Amino acid sequence: MSHVPAATRALRLLRFLATRSGPVSAAAVAAELELPRSSVYQLLEAMAEEGFVTHLPEERRWGLGVAAFEIGSAYLRHGPLERLARPLLRRLVEETGATAHLGILHGPDTLYLLKEQPPHAPTLITGVGVRLPAHLTASGRALLAHLPRAQVRALYPAAAAFVDRTGHGPSGPAELRGVLADERRAGYAVEEGQVTEGFSSIAAAAFDHNAAPAAAISLTVPSARPVTAAALAAGARDAAAELTRRLGGRAPELW
């Protein structure tokens, strides 16, 4: 690793600290970066001077500093996810005539960040800032399908955690697990009348650099519209794959 530029080492160190649940020792950093401990101390001290890491002397450990938080906050203020996804959604609307959404998970809910629709599109309950139960929405299930099973169990521990809007949709943990397994294998999620009677949605997930689900792109049409699920799914999956590429992400391996 001696030939690796110092800037690259610093970025790798930041990424390593960001993936830890708490501060770590210099020895752990040295093992991860495959660097001599003396070099790691020099790197940590230089980054501490700029505020990107902080030293906890009593614990003899290092963690992220305030400057790292400021960078993350600036990233969120710039809305990069929405900026990267909006052109993809607009293209989908032009190609399919469907209403397109970008959604993320917010606890057990789907939170919609973007909505693009064709002229004279029917009114939908979904909109920017709207939250809906994730297990009922195609976007939410496309994301839940790629979460660790323990995380899904934490969100949906018992039947009491499930609500419905139209009398349709998973009503318990076992049913949800079965639906998510099928949709994970298919590569997309389908929702028919579970959010609004008479409308259907298809969604596919985009992933970050850790292969974790970052957001979902969905397409919604009237259920009576003569279009196959496979046709809409292909568009949603292609757009999600492109968003994954733009995020510098990678798709996960199937379980």
Tokens coding 85: 């996804």
Residue ranges per structural domain of the chain: 6-74, 79-246
Positive or negative CA dihedral for 15, 85, 184, 163? positive
Q: What's the mean per-residue pLDDT of the chain? A: 87
> Domain 79-246 has what CATH class?
alpha beta
Tokens coding 41: 């101390």
If you average pLDDT over residues 226-249, what whole number do you get?
A: 89
* Model confidence at 178: pLDDT above 90: yes
Over residues 60-116, the pLDDT tens digits come to 999 988 888 777 766 655 568 898 999 999 999 999 999 999 999 888 899 899 999
Over residues 113-135, the pLDDT tens digits come to 999 999 887 778 777 888 899 99
Q: In the prediction, which pLDDT does 255 show? A: 52
* Model confidence at 215: pLDDT above 90: yes
Q: Which amino acid is at 215?
A: A
Let me know if the fold of 6-74 is the same as that of 79-246: no
Q: In the prediction, which pLDDT does 201 show? A: 93
Q: In the prediction, which pLDDT does 226 show? A: 62
Please name the CATH architecture into which domain 6-74 falls.
Orthogonal Bundle (1.10)
Tell me how far apart the alpha carbons of residues 29 and 171 are, in angstroms, rounded to a whole number: 45
Instruction: DSSP letter for 160, please.
Output: G
DSSP three-state, residue 84: helix
In angstroms, what CA-CA distances link 77 with 19, 70, 85, 129, 182?
Answer: 22, 10, 16, 16, 36
Report pTM. Answer: 0.71
* Model confidence at 1: pLDDT above 60: no
Instruction: DSSP letter for 200, please.
Output: E
If you average pLDDT over residues 221-243, what whole number do you get?
A: 86
Tell me how far apart the alpha carbons of residues 135 and 71 are, in angstroms, rounded to a whole number: 33
Tell me how far apart the alpha carbons of residues 91 and 84 are, in angstroms, rounded to a whole number: 12
In angstroms, what CA-CA distances link 139 with 3, 8, 15, 149, 233?
Answer: 44, 35, 28, 18, 12
Q: Which amino acid is at 25?
A: S
- 127: Cβ–Cβ under 8 A, 6 or more apart, which residues? 112, 115
- 46: Cβ–Cβ under 8 A, 6 or more apart, which residues? 10
Cβ atoms of 142 and 189 closer than 8 Å: yes
Tokens coding 1: 């690793």
Tell me how far apart the alpha carbons of residues 173 and 109 are, in angstroms, rounded to a whole number: 16
- Let me know if 26 is exposed, middle or buried by CB neighbors in 10 A (0-12, 13-18, 19+): middle
If you average pLDDT over residues 226-235, what whole number do you get?
A: 80
Q: In the prediction, which pLDDT does 19 show? A: 81
- Beta-ladder partners of 112: 103
* Model confidence at 221: pLDDT above 80: yes
More confident residue, 40 or 225: 40
The dihedral formed by the CA atoms of 31, 36, 42 and 43, expressed in degrees to the nearest 10? -40
Over its C-alpha atoms, the chain yields an Rg (Å, rounded) of 21
